[in-house]
């Protein structure tokens, strides 16, 4: 590829959900730089195709699959497309997610609650459900579930989001225990605030970005690219002894 990399993932196939923007896009690009063939899974076609174009501009290999992770048929189609093209799935990044309503718990509607759970928790479970059998056949695979500092500290007015990410950690623990001996490493990465479209409601709620910065011990929010590099490391052979809810990348927000 045009940009230098160690090519740690040469010949490996990675699915990244929510890969059109933010952390997902940065992760897809970072994996491609290391030689991975990337399946860009995204609900919005324009963003997904843009991510593919960016990967191809680097000399990487990628294709786009329009995916709604909350729908079983859509996730099945995603996994089938990956296997039809490459006959293997080495890496799954469960990144697709929504912040949901910022409201007191009793003011959240059932429809809002269900949407957050369907995308953040059920979506990750569906992707694991359909990708894991291929990984079991290969006797190898890595799954990264992108979780949140909401598992480490309390964020008032984010009950649905916090519950969905807590569920993700529980699911990660169980799946990690179930599949580690089969060569499949299931891990979770807990993130603080990252500069993505997803945090725009949070900035608006806080009044300004400076207040959001002050909620992190390092005095700033994260950039998508540094998160992407952390995920690349978690997927690498250098992190083969890391399993379960393993890494916090929160900027120390839980310390304050």
Nearest to 149 by CA among 68, 217, 228: 217
Integer angstrom CA distances of residue 20 from 29, 35, 142, 147: 11, 19, 21, 18
- Reply yes or no on whether 161 is catalytic: yes
Domain residue limits, the chain: 13-250
Q: Which of 145, 164, 159 is nearest to 15 (CA)?
A: 145
Q: What is the pLDDT of residues 107-152, one digit of tens each?
A: 999 999 999 999 999 999 999 999 999 999 999 999 999 999 998 9
Query: If 0-12 CB within 10 Å is exposed, 13-18 middle and 19+ buried, where does residue 153 land?
Result: middle
**Contacts with 106 (C-beta within 8 Å, 6 or more apart), sequence order:** none
The residue from 64, 86, 130, 161 that is catalytic is 161
Predicted local distance difference test score (pLDDT) of residue 4 = 47
Q: What is the pLDDT of residue 246?
A: 74
Lookup result for tokens 């890595």:
142
Burial level of 132, CB count in 10 A (0-12/13-18/19+)? buried
CATH of segment(s) 13-250: 3.40.50.720
pLDDT single digits (tens) 82-114: 999 999 999 999 999 999 999 999 999 999 999
Q: Which two tokens stand for residue 26?
A: 């940065």
Q: Per-residue b/e over 84-94, b at no fewer than 16 CB within 10 Å?
A: eebebbbbbbb
Alpha-carbon distance of 119 to 163, in angstroms, equals 12
Instruction: Identify the pLDDT of residue 1.
Output: 35
Q: What's the whole-model pTM score?
A: 0.95
User: For the chain (length 256 residues), average pLDDT per consecutive 10?
Assistant: 69 98 98 99 98 98 99 99 99 98 98 99 99 98 97 94 97 98 98 88 72 91 97 98 92 93
């Amino acid at each position: 590829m045009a940009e230098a990399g160690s090519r740690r993932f040469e010949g490996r196939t990675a699915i990244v959900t929510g890969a059109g923007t933010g952390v997902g896009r940065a992760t897809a690009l970072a994996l491609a730089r290391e030689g991975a063939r990337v399946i860009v899974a995204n609900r919005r076609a324009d963003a997904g195709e843009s991510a593919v174009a960016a990967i191809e501009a680097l000399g990487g290999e990628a294709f786009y699959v329009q995916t709604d992770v909350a729908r079983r048929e859509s996730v099945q189609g995603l996994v089938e497309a990956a296997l039809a093209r490459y006959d293997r799935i080495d890496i799954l990044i469960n990144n697709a997610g929504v912040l949901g309503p910022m409201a007191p718990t009793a003011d959240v509607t059932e429809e809002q609650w269900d949407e957050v759970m369907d995308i953040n928790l059920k979506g990750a479970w569906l992707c694991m459900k359909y990708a894991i059998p291929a990984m079991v056949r290969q006797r190898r695979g890595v799954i990264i579930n992108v979780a949140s500092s909401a598992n480490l500290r309390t964020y008032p007015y984010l009950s649905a989001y916090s519950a969905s990410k807590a569920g993700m950690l529980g699911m990660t623990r169980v799946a990690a225990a179930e599949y580690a001996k089969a060569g499949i490493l299931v891990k979770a990465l807990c993130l603080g605030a990252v500069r993505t479209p997803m945090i725009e409601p949070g900035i608006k709620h806080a009044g300004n970005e400076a207040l959001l910065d002050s909620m992190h011990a390092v005095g700033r929010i994260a950039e998508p690219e540094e998160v992407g590099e952390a995920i690349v490391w978690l997927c690498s052979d250098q992190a083969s002894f890391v399993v379960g809810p393993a890494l916090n990348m929160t900027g120390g927000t839980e310390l304050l």
